[in-house]
Amino acid sequence: MRPTITAFEASPDRGQGLARDMRVRWALEEVGQPYDVRLVSFAEMKQPAHRALHPFGQIPTYEEGDLVLFETGAIVLHIAERRAGLLPTDANARARAIAWMFAALNTVEPPIVELEAASLLEEDKSWHRERLPLLEQRIRVRLDVLSTRLGNSEWLDGAFSAADLLMVTVLRRLTGSDILEGYPNLSAFVARGEARPAYQRAFADQLAVFTAASRG
């Protein structure tokens, strides 16, 4: 059954693949699963029809037959469990990869999102500049550990998996800050992810949405 996902009709990142539909697109490309995309506006996301798919009124969603999913972690895990290519077959290795998926979303992503939110929503506050080093330090605490753990390895735990896919998309959110540059092995890890043909196809597809919209 060919799944349908939702994505921003007009992504604020101007097609740089930072919105979270990118993870789902990339996962689908990795496993060779064709899919459809339904574009939604910010207003549509908050309407009952979309909230029936996503209680929080966000993108992406995932529809496949009778199944409706939200939350990128759940969607990527679903894709990885149903189709070969994104999780090891060995039970322990699979459990470890899933642990790293949670680590990407629960441990590494939150301080990055906090910094983004501060830059977007708190720039006019008198205390904003004072708070920034604190937020950046919280990210570095996580990246120090991640960098040491990755060392010279290509991927987080053996072969490329859904854990690497999620971690790369999380670290890409630091694009534009100099934080990631302080960790050459993590920058190289992100570059390895971005060089994968499946990533490139997913990136091109989401960029095409922005390009078409800007042509009018």
Binding residues (CB under 6 A) for ligand GTB: these are: 11-13, 18-20, 45, 57-59, 71-72
Give phi and psi for 61, each to the nearest 5.
Answer: -120, 170
Give the residue with the Cβ less far from ligand GTB, 11 or 161. Answer: 11
Please give the Cα distance from 126 to 29 (Å, whole number): 45
CB of 91 to ligand GTB, least distance (A): 26
Which of 9, 158 has the CB closer to ligand GTB? 9
* Distance (Å) of CA 170 to CA 18, 27, 39, 107: 9, 14, 22, 10
In the bound state with ligand GTB, the residue whose beta carbon lies nearer, of 18 and 93, is 18
Q: How far is the CB of 141 from ligand GTB (least distance, A)?
A: 22
Minimum CB separation from ligand GTB for residue 39, in Å?
Answer: 12
Contact 98, 163 (CB under 8 A): yes
Euclidean distance between CA atoms 89 and 95, whole angstroms: 10
For residue 103, how far is the Cα from the chain centroid? 13
C-beta closer to ligand GTB: residue 59 or 143: 59
Contact 161, 86 (CB under 8 A): yes
**Minimum Å distance from CB 73 to ligand GTB?**
6
Nearer to ligand GTB, 117 or 154 (CB): 117
Residue 17 or 186: the one with the smaller Cβ distance to ligand GTB is 17
Question: Computed from CA positions of residues 153, 156, 158, 160, in that sequence, does the dihedral angle turn out positive or negative?
Answer: negative
| Nearest approach, Cβ of residue 177 and ligand GTB (Å) | 12
In sequence order, what are the beta bridge partners of 166? none
- Separation of alpha carbons 164 and 160, rounded Å: 6
Angle between helices 109-121 and 162-172 (to 10 degrees): 20
Closest distance between ligand GTB and the C-beta of residue 71, in Å? 5
